[in-house]
Amino acid sequence: MSRSKHTDPRWLRASRRVRAPFDRRDTDDLSFRRRLRRRSPSGNSTPAPRIKRAYSLPVVPRIIWHQPRPGFHHPITKQGVLKFLETIGSLAVYGLRSIEFTRGRISDPPVLLLFGRYETPGRILLFEQARPPWRLHGRLSKKDVNRFERAGAKLIQLSQSGTTLVDWPADTLRRFMLEEVLLHEVGHHVLQHHKAKRLDRIARTKDHEAFAALFSMHQQKLLAVRSRAT
């Protein structure tokens, strides 16, 4: 198979596009240069012209901040999100248009269990959270219990009142929002953006969720390795 920029792994394409967002698609494409060489009488290839960039900073998503309601807060900051995305690399940033710190809507599920959402094309919503400790009615699902405890939350089941207390000591809620919620939504973006650029989801909800969960798990393992190395 002829080598081409368009058959590169998506992480390599993402890195190139973030580093040089205004370059032509055929810039430094080996297959393009070979075609030119075959057409040229002298057999010499002419390098593809490069478009001058207005700036050399990497492309970052737009961060939109909405003030939380009284009694609520955003556990993570704009700077924290941008710094965290740098640790993931260009695969997460490429094609991501905006990250929005927002409030829950009336039509949304109960706010206390609403953390993040991905919307096409390239938009991630991070919802405000009530200040801990949380008092939740009923028992949490096994999935939520595992997620919370893995992030460091302390859960207490109150059988008499039928409620669950969830406390987040130290910076555990901030880490949960970054390493569980944001990474999961980035996983949705990676699948959607690198498969197609349609507004409609390119996979069933079940498959989308499975890919996002695997992406988040893989990135968490990489983060753990880097933290041990430092």
Kindly report, residue by residue over 28-60, the tens digit of the pLDDT.
555 555 555 565 555 554 554 444 443 334 567
Provide the edge-to-edge strand list for the sheet that holds 163-167: 134-137, 163-167, 154-158
Asked if 174 and 76 count as a contact pair (C-beta separation under 8 A), the reply is yes
When pLDDT is averaged across residues 3-15 and rounded to a whole number, the result is 54
| pLDDT recorded at residue 33 | 52
Residue 98 and residue 121 share a domain: yes
* Each residue's pLDDT tens digit, 166-210: 999 999 999 999 999 999 999 999 998 877 666 777 888 899 999
Is the same domain home to 173 and 224?
yes
**Secondary structure string (H, E, C) spanning the chain:** CCCCHHHCCHHHHHHHHHHCCCCCCCCCCHHHHHHHHHHCCCCCCCCCCCCCCCCCCCCCCEEEECCCCCCEECCCCHHHHHHHHHHHCHHHHCCCCEEEEECCCCCCCCHHHCCEEEECCCEEEEECEECCCEEEECCCCHHHHHHHHHHCCEEEEECCCCEEEEECCCCHHHHHHHHHHHHHHHHHHHHHHHHCCCCCCCCCHHHHHHHHHHHHHHHHHHHHHHHHHC
Q: Residue 79 falls within a domain, yes or no?
A: yes
On whether residue 52 sits in a domain, the answer given is: no
Residues 160 and 173 in one domain: no
pLDDT above 60 (res 23) = no
Q: Could you tell me the two tokens for 183? A: 């990474």
**Statement to judge: residues 33 and 123 lie in one domain:** no
Question: Mean pLDDT in the chain?
Answer: 79
Structural domain of 124:
62-130+169-229
Residue 53, domain member (yes or no): no
Same domain assignment for residues 83 and 119: yes
Give the whole-angstrom CA distance, residue 61 versus residue 97. 5
Mark whether 148 and 100 lie in a shared domain: no
Q: In the listed set 167, 189, 217, which residue is the last one of a domain according to the structure?
A: 167
Establish if 54 belongs to a structural domain. no
- Number of domain units in the chain: 3
Residue 17 shares a structural domain with residue 117:
no
* Residue 10 belongs to a domain: yes
Residues 160 and 184 in one domain: no
Mean pLDDT value of segment 111-138: 89
- The pLDDT value recorded for residue 22 is 46
Q: Using 50, 70 and 90 to split pLDDT, how confident is the model at 101?
A: very high
Question: Domain for residue 122, yes or no?
Answer: yes
pLDDT confidence band for 104 (50 / 70 / 90):
confident
108 with 185, same domain: the answer is yes
- The verdict on 192 and 157 lying in the same domain is no
Residues 68 and 106 in one domain: yes
pLDDT of residue 229: 81
Q: CA-to-CA distance for 63 and 82, rounded, in angstroms? A: 9
* Better-predicted residue by pLDDT, 42 or 105: 105
Answer yes or no: do 124 and 74 share one domain: yes
How do residues 140-171 score in pLDDT, each as one tens digit? Answer: 889 899 999 999 999 998 888 889 999 999 99
